[in-house]
Each structure stands twice: as structure tokens, then as C-alpha cells.
Amino acid sequence: MKESSLYIHIPFCDHKCIYCDFYSIITHDGIQIYLDALKKEIEYFARNYSAGRKFTTIFFGGGTPSLLAPHEIEEIIFQLKNNFTVSKDAEITLETNPGTVDKEKLKDFLKAGINRISIGIQTFDDEELKFLTRIHNKQTAIETVWLAKEVGFKNISLDLIFNLPKQTKEKWMLNLQTAIALPITHLSAYSLILERGTILNKLVLDKKVVLQDEDYDAELHEMTIEFLNRNNFVQYEVSNFALKGFECRHNLAYWQYKNYLGFGTSAHSFVNGKRWWNYSPLKFYVDSVTQKENAVIGEEILSEQQMKEEFIMLALRSKGLNVNEFNEKFGLDWYKKKKNQIETYLENLFLADRNDILFLTPKGYVVCDEIIANLIS
């Protein structure tokens, strides 16, 4: 059976952070109406895409999925398992934010079927948390991780953001040291990205906030890679690090170009070279599902060239490009054309080759966008 993944978008939030460009709404109203629409959408796609597939991961993203009650998450998991073939050992991740859960709620999420928790901390510095307009403080963040461990979660991830305005190397290093002192198995470290339409973008345009330059960003990224690798958190994607055996299987499915179905507002799906996406506004989503059982607003059939470029990009950003697998899918033309360039990257230690798998070195990860752009141009 073909391995695939499932994504559920929960758009509800207590607060919209200044840097966030994911679809979210600051309300708890309409949750039950939304859950009813989700179940209907799941049933619709199960009729067309369940045969011959085994779903090995489920990921609840947002928004803030942990705002839902555990029994509501459990109902969604039941609906997925009732309509799709879900592996008994499926990785089931819930994104959560400190300040939205306590010990009992975490315990109930575990009972509901969540076996991997991803905690959006972003920084352990209280001043930086205020700047990012997060609702928690450093102490709450640390306590949330320990509570997750205490109730029985064995797979705990956290998110951090580096290169915040005025962030020194010392301050960022303290963030990393604080993180690995906690009982975590996975860490995502993202550079602050300025997205159009966010509050942060307006602050920068109004010159009320000044971002640090790309060279400094690269230095922080390189420092992150060296520190985490030295402390047994192996880099398996540009921004993701894990203890051995704790790589996020759901994210790997994206990077390995596997098929996935997404449900809920703004969710995307990718099956057999076809990509489609849902309405973002909650009302449009619910109305569309009510009328036609799905909320698809757009779709595209990828050309072979698009699929080739995406395959190269996703593979190099993660565990590496299997040259033989690529040649079987797309032929030898690309490798022959780029052979001299690849050899130059190998000689200069930006790329390495292990058993015909090309992968970025720590040095290469720092400039991965440039390398990938050159290899797919």
C-alpha cells in the first residue's frame, strides 16, 4: 500500500502573533460548526483517496490546535481512522502553545491518541516573547515541556526562532542551551522571516523595527548547526534537528515527496502530481463543505519539470537526494547537465556523497537556497 499522510488545520487562536502569516482567527466561536464540516470533508475525500493507501502520520497544525478540548481531538482522530487505513504505529502530532494547556489537558491529549507534541516556544527570553506578542513567559514554556514529559509523552518537539531584532549571539546561545537541557527529542530552529500582510511587516515598513542582515542570520544558523550536532541533535533538514530515531515522520513525508491529504481552512493536498488547496476564511470553508462536501478553491497539475525541481529541492533540504531513485523517476538528463557543478560543490565541501545519495553538509545548509537554485535552474 502507498504510504501517505494526513494534515488537519485548526484555525482558532487566543491571539495573533505579529510574525504569523498562517490562517488563524482570534475566536472560539464556531468550533462545533467547524468540526462538523471537517468530518464531512474527511468522508468526502475518503471515498476517492482511501483505496490502496496506508496513512502513517497525522498532524494537527494551526492556529492553536491545543485550544480544542481533548475529546474534540479524539473525535477527529476517530473520524480519520474510521475512514482511512491508519497505521497502528502512526505518528500523531499536536501543535500546542504554552499557556493553553495544563497537566490534565496534556494527559487527556495523550489518552486521545496524540503521541507526539510540538510546543511553540519561539524563545526563552521574556523580552523577546513580549516583542513577538506571545501569551506565555519563559517559566510557563519550561513548565509545559516538563509537564508533557511527566504525563507520559516520549516524543516532545519545540520551536525556536533566531535572528530576532537586536538578538545577540549570546542570547541565542542561551536559548539553545535552555532547550537541550529540557527532555525534548526534536527541535525546530527557524530564522525570522518577514511575511507580507503581518503586523511585523508593517512595523518594518514604518521603520519602527529594524531586522538584522542576512550575513548575521547565516552566522546564527551556522552556530545553531554546530551546537546542536555537537549535542546529539542531528540536522536532518535545514531547520530541523532530532535525537536519533526522533525525526518528524510527517515532515519527512513532505520532504520525500510523498502524497498527503489536508483538511480544514487553508489546507493543501498533494496526490499523484496534483496539488489543491482549500478556502481560508472560515465561513467560506464551512459554506463550501455544506454545499459540495469539499472546500477546494484551486488546483494545479504539476508538469514533469515542476515535479523534478520540487523533488530535488525537497530532497536536498532534508536527508539527501538519492541519485538512482531520481534517475528512475526522471531520467539521467539533469544529472549529466549538472555533473560539473555537483562535483564543484563536493570538492568545496558544500555537498557530500554517501552511496549515491547527495546531501548538504553543515556548511552547505547555511547557503542551501543558493545551491538549490543553481542546481534546478
pLDDT given for residue 299 in this prediction:
97
**Nearest-angstrom CA–CA distance, 52 and 72:** 28
Q: Residues 295-333: pLDDT tens digits?
A: 999 999 999 999 999 999 999 999 899 989 888 888 878
Q: Residues 112-168: pLDDT tens digits?
A: 999 999 999 999 999 988 888 778 899 999 999 999 999 999 999 999 999 888 899
**Nearest-angstrom CA–CA distance, 295 and 263:** 9
pTM: 0.93
Q: What Cα–Cα distance (Å) separates residue 205 from each residue in 134, 210, 213, 323?
A: 22, 9, 15, 44
pLDDT given for residue 13 in this prediction:
84
pLDDT given for residue 204 in this prediction:
63
Query: Which three three-digit cell numbers place residue 205?
Result: 515598513
Give residue 212's pLDDT band: very low, low, confident or very high (50, 70, 90): confident
pLDDT given for residue 211 in this prediction:
75
pLDDT given for residue 349 in this prediction:
93
Which long-range contacts link 323-326 to residues 24+ away (Cβ below 8 Å)? Answer: 323/356, 323/357, 323/358, 324/356
Q: Residues 64-79: pLDDT tens digits?
A: 999 999 999 999 999 9
How would you classify the pairing of strands 240-242 and 234-237?
antiparallel
Contact, 23 vs 266, CB < 8 A?
yes
Q: Where would I find the beta strands (DSSP E) of 209-318?
A: 234-237, 240-242, 259-263, 268-271, 274-278, 296-301
Which range among 32-36, 168-172, 192-196, 359-363 shows the weakest confidence by mean pLDDT?
A: 192-196
Question: Does 22 have pLDDT greater than 70?
Answer: no
Average pLDDT over residues 272-281: 96
Q: Where are the domains of the chain?
A: 2-255, 318-376
CA 237 to chain centre: 11
pLDDT given for residue 377 in this prediction:
81
Closest CA to 38 of 266, 328, 358, 214: 266
CATH class of this structure's domain 2-255: alpha beta
Closest CA to 357 of 309, 313, 319: 319
Q: Where would I find the beta strands (DSSP E) of the chain?
A: 2-10, 53-62, 86-96, 116-122, 156-162, 186-191, 234-237, 240-242, 259-263, 268-271, 274-278, 296-301, 321-322, 351-354, 357-360
pLDDT given for residue 116 in this prediction:
98
The one-letter code for the residue type at 372 is I
Give residue 20's pLDDT band: very low, low, confident or very high (50, 70, 90): low
Q: Residues 49-105: pLDDT tens digits?
A: 998 999 999 999 988 999 999 999 999 999 999 999 999 999 999 999 998 999 999
Angle at 307 between CA 301 and CA 309, to 5 degrees: 135
pLDDT given for residue 366 in this prediction:
87
